[in-house]
Amino acid sequence: MKCPSSNEEVKFHRDVIFGNVDEERFRFLKQQRDIFASKFARNITLLLESKKPKKVYSRKGLLDPRKVYQHSYDDSIFYRKTAKPTSDTTIVFLLDGSGSMDCKAFNGMTRLEVCNVLSSAFAKAVKRTINNEIKVEVFLKSAPSVVHKPTTGTDNRAFPILTRLFTNTKNGVCDYDTMLRTDTISPMTINGKTQGSYTAELSVMPALLEFMRKNIVTKNVVLLNITDGEAWCELNDYTFGDAENRQMRMKYLRSIPHLNIMISGRYQEENLRYIYGDNLLQVEGDSFCGELFKKLNTLMGEAI
């Protein structure tokens, strides 16, 4: 627990979370992002194709003249059109910004770099293929263990922080290239020095829901929580761990279509399901795109 004195300068600097990624590393991450963006683009197109209006035949509705001849043996000669408005959906990414996300994952990337690449690739694919018809919001979860009453107005220990990294709505706060630079650094500095982060996980849900209530205008929301698991942070006057994370999931995610994407997760599947429920996708390599969009297709159907 860091307890800066009252004369120390504690500030929030959103831009410090973009770290000091050198240009060679940045080019590598852009290459990885573009590979995934190409894969995602194909799946996003198919996703929208599956949501186009379709004819469903039944015993009532509009008469289909081409089926009248079947009436003697099949009275399902009437139809109605079905449509699922994907344009009225926001996909919200929650990225784990804790220190353990700096560990290696796959394709030469850390866990957080995988998060950055996937969310950036999705945003780019949505822009290039459907001109942002689906809205995208990306947030970073941080939990610096810092107490500083002059800054926070309270001495009830530390608290989690939710930082908006990207939006493709009007007045966007970031582009999908800059998002690739996100590091395991919280947006809080002490005398100009950056601070690390514990695992905030679903402790940020009250703040996120408040943001959604005020800012998201689409009818539907799908939440993609990307993490390596194992929640731990200090929230007000108690420790927030896996048990509390499970309680938050049961309280806040019950009515929100969501998927917990585990990047090199540190738990066995049985334990993960106890904490995160059944909406899980474990990612250990780069061959998960088909399964991701299969689940996303189902979630978007649930959101409508």
Q: What is the mean pLDDT of the chain?
A: 85
pLDDT digits (tens, 9 = 90+) for 99-108: 999 999 999 9
The dihedrals phi and psi of 190, each to the nearest 5 degrees, come to -120, 115
- 27 pLDDT higher than 90: yes
104: β partners: 110
Contact 198, 172 (CB under 8 A): no
The dihedrals phi and psi of 206, each to the nearest 5 degrees, come to -55, -45
Residues 105, 150: Cα–Cα separation, whole Å: 39
Residue whose token pair is 């690449």? 117
pLDDT digits (tens, 9 = 90+) for 177-216: 999 999 999 998 888 888 899 999 999 999 999 999 999 9
pLDDT digits (tens, 9 = 90+) for 127-157: 999 988 899 999 999 998 777 677 666 666 6
Buried b (16+ CB within 10 A) or exposed e, 16-34: bbbeebeeebeebbbebbe
Where in the chain are the domains? Answer: 10-49+84-303, 54-82
CA nearest neighbour of 151 among 13, 10, 15: 10
Which residues have C-beta within 8 Å of that of residue 185, sequence separation ≥ 6? 16, 17, 19, 97, 142, 194, 195, 196, 197
In this predicted structure, what is the pLDDT of residue 234? 79
pLDDT digits (tens, 9 = 90+) for 50-76: 555 555 655 566 666 666 666 655 666
Q: Counting Cβ atoms within 10 Å, is residue 167 exposed (0-12), middle (13-18) or buried (19+)?
A: buried
In this predicted structure, what is the pLDDT of residue 146? 77
Q: Which amino acid, residue 190? A: I
Contact 197, 272 (CB under 8 A): no
- 242 pLDDT higher than 90: yes
Contact 179, 29 (CB under 8 A): no
CA angle centred on 92, ends 120 and 173, rounded to 5°: 60
Please give the model's pTM, rounded to 2 decimal places.
0.85
Q: Please say whether the structural domain 10-49+84-303 has been given the CATH code 3.40.50.410.
A: yes
